């Protein structure tokens, strides 16, 4: 649906005080109850207490643009998000509006002919640890009408026993019907396949490699038989840390050996690996560097707890998409606390400018989630929707230079002839920014804003004169501009 068809109103303000978190979350107890701190403090589950530390505590951090970023986790791979765009495309087949400005000045220069990664989608986790989303809550998260988030990826857990296979099926089926891709991640293989015979810790026995692959595929078949087409399945959640909840320890070589021997079985579903805690490339580089192994899987998945937000040229060279499949910006504060909720925008922006193809939040419905415990869309949810509602699967990120003001961050995307620009202003005062569009057709932009007092509120349209416009971004806000 084109942006011109959206009819928005601010509606009622979501609750400002989140209800207590669910009890009995043995799997994520330290994530849900962290010690507020900077990103150097790590909880016993190996994750940074505030996701991005400074974002969670409210202190602004530098927001990267298309600039060189060093790789993480002991990798020998480094790269620049901006030095090598994925593709250089000709001008779109429409009435291109000439822009007399300079693409190298200090304006925000958006060039639709310079393309980076294709967007697979934006999503979140459901079920397996918390009560499953209700049908109405799935609609709020994955529907794309007024007041809905427009998420396009649902992440669910692969149960370790067959009798738990029905978990999350209803929610995944409904999300799929709304157009979402379904991905599944295991926390532990069945206990009889593990070295310690327990859900926590241990490793997959070599003699169980084939049986584990069959277990994952039987879950895929169960989903399909129940109306859920599985798009991607992961080998293991966070194989690189030792924790106190369901888990399995893998070495990089074990991951390589398993993918090499079992990967050929997964034809028809996208196999993902390694989903390390911090995109640790000591686990992913070996998968990519062995040609026979790289041929057996499809997606590099990873999390960014404390580190890992960096471009990954080696993955692109091997034809792999790079998905950020789990993170949260802050679990120490309720989801409606402003401006902390704006940290979601910073988190997504940082992932986009390093060429990640997907961004998947942790639990969708939590006191700190995209929906609060009562199922209402939260401020964090509305900030996520500034991206997810408008930057749809298949869109491509295009070049957008960053403002000199480090409180501002801008990314731009195209889908067909449609342009989407997302601008964050973390300053406590309104800021003006000049937008210059090159190799585009747009003459007018609709605008939608989330701020302390607005929830995806539609504002006055912006007219581009010769491809140029100066716009004002409200204090501590996220604004999306969509070409009409």
The catalytic residue positions are 238, 326
CA distances from 226 to 134, 144, 219, 266 (A): 17, 24, 11, 19
Nearest to 83, CA basis, from 104, 68, 70, 71: 68
| 133: CB partners within 8 A, 6+ apart | 126, 127, 141, 171, 364, 365, 371
Cα–Cα distance measured from residue 36 to residue 393, given in angstroms and rounded to the nearest whole number: 35
Cα–Cα distance measured from residue 35 to residue 41, given in angstroms and rounded to the nearest whole number: 8
Contact of 92 with 329, CB cutoff 8 Å: no
Segments in 279-326 forming alpha helices (H): 281-289, 291-294, 313-317
Cα–Cα distance measured from residue 96 to residue 90, given in angstroms and rounded to the nearest whole number: 11
Please list the residues that pair with 433 across neighbouring strands: 471
Cα–Cα distance measured from residue 108 to residue 165, given in angstroms and rounded to the nearest whole number: 49
| Concatenated DSSP letters of 412-454 | EEEETTEEEEEEEE-SSS-EEEEEEEES---SEEEEEEESSS-
Hey, what are 106's tokens? 């200090």
């Amino acid at each position: 649906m084109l942006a011109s068809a959206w009819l928005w109103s601010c509606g009622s303000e979501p609750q400002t005080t989140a209800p207590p978190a669910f009890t009995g979350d043995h799997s994520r107890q330290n994530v849900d109850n962290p010690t507020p701190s900077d990103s150097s403090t790590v909880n016993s589950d190996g994750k940074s207490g505030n996701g991005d530390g400074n974002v969670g505590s409210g202190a602004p951090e530098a927001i990267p643009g298309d600039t060189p970023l060093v790789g993480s986790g002991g990798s020998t791979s480094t790269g620049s998000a901006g030095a090598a765009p994925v593709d250089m495309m000709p001008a779109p087949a429409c009435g291109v509006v000439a822009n007399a400005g300079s693409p190298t000045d200090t304006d925000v220069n958006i060039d639709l002919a310079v393309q980076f990664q294709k967007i697979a989608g934006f999503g979140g986790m459901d079920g397996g640890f918390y009560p499953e989303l209700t049908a109405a809550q799935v609609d709020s998260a994955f529907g794309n009408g007024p007041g809905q988030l427009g998420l396009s990826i649902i992440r669910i857990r692969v149960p370790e026993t067959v009798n738990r296979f029905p978990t999350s099926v209803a929610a995944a089926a409904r999300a799929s019907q709304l157009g979402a891709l379904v991905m599944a991640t295991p926390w532990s293989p069945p206990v009889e396949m593990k070295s310690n015979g327990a859900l926590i810790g241990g490793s997959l026995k070599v003699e169980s490699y084939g049986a584990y692959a069959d277990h994952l595929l039987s879950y895929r078949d169960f989903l399909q038989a129940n109306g859920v087409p599985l798009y991607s399945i992961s080998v293991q959640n966070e194989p690189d840390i030792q924790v106190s909840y369901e888990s399995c320890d893998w070495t990089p070589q074990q991951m390589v050996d398993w993918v090499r021997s079992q990967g050929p079985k997964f034809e028809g579903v996208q196999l993902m690996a390694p989903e390390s805690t911090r995109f640790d490339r000591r686990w992913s580089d070996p998968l990519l560097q062995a040609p026979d192994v790289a041929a057996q899987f499809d997606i590099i998945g990873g999390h960014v707890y404390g580190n890992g937000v960096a471009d990954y040229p080696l993955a692109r060279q091997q034809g792999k998409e790079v998905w950020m499949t789990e993170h949260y910006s802050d679990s120490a504060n309720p989801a409606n606390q402003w401006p902390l909720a704006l940290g979601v925008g910073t988190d997504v922006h940082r992932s986009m400018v390093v060429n990640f193809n997907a961004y998947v939040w942790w639990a969708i419905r939590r006191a700190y989630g995209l929906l609060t415990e009562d199922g209402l869309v939260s401020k964090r949810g509305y900030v996520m929707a500034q991206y997810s509602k408008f930057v749809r699967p298949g869109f491509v990120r295009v070049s957008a230079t960053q403002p000199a003001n480090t409180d501002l961050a801008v990314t731009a995307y195209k889908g067909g002839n449609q342009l989407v620009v997302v601008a964050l202003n973390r300053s406590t005062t309104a800021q003006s920014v000049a937008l210059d569009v090159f190799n585009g057709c747009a003459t007018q932009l609709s605008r939608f804003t989330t701020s302390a007092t607005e929830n995806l509120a539609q504002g006055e349209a912006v007219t581009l004169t010769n491809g140029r416009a100066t716009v004002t971004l409200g204090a501590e806000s996220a604004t999306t501009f969509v070409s009409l």
